[in-house]
Amino acid sequence: MIAAFDAHYIGDERASAAAVLFRNYTDTESVAEFVGLTGAVSPYMPGQFYRRELPCILRLFEQFDRAPDEMLIDGYAMLGDQPGLGQHLFQSFSGKILVIGVAKSKYRNSAGVEVFRGRSKRPLYVTSAGVDPHEASEIIRLMHGAHRVPALLKRVDLLAKEKIHYSSGVRVGKVGY
């Protein structure tokens, strides 16, 4: 199973995290979706995004019946020679679950593999932990969807955004599986 994660924030007060699970990178739909809210998130600090997002992802993992074999994150696995969110997530699981980071913007001093999808003139930046970044970039290139961002990554982004905008308390939801 493959899991893709994303999170959205309202200031330093709360965050919404979402995950979609799917079997193959070419899948058109998820087999399960998870969302959750959390409060008291860490403030954003450039180069230390993992301090903010990693706890949200790990909390969402509590809903899973089993760990995925591979993970995708919205962000960087490596920031140049420094660990990014993906590397910290990889280490959280003792290097047993590979992580692919897919970023929509370039971070200074980072060396992500540029992936152009659809007709977009702007690349995605792919980094990884536990798998060669060039192999990871080919995986992202082959994912379903005709646009710059693969369809299942758009889906997880939408789930996290929706949850943060119309939720009033800490609630967790699980769909399918």
Give the tens place of pLDDT for each residue, 18-27: 999 999 999 9
Phi then psi for 4, rounded to 5 degrees?
-115, 135
> pLDDT digits over 54-79, tens only?
998 999 988 899 999 999 999 999 98
Report residue 29's pLDDT band, with 50, 70 and 90 as the boundaries.
very high
Kindly report the number of other CB atoms within 10 A of residue 138's CB atom. 14
From residue 142, alpha-carbon distances to 72, 125, 139, 156, 157 in Å are 14, 15, 5, 18, 19
- Tokens representing 13 are 């007060």
pTM of model > 0.85: yes
Q: What is the CATH number of domain 2-168?
A: 3.30.2170.10
Going by C-alpha positions, the residue among 3, 127, 31 that lies closest to residue 75 is 127
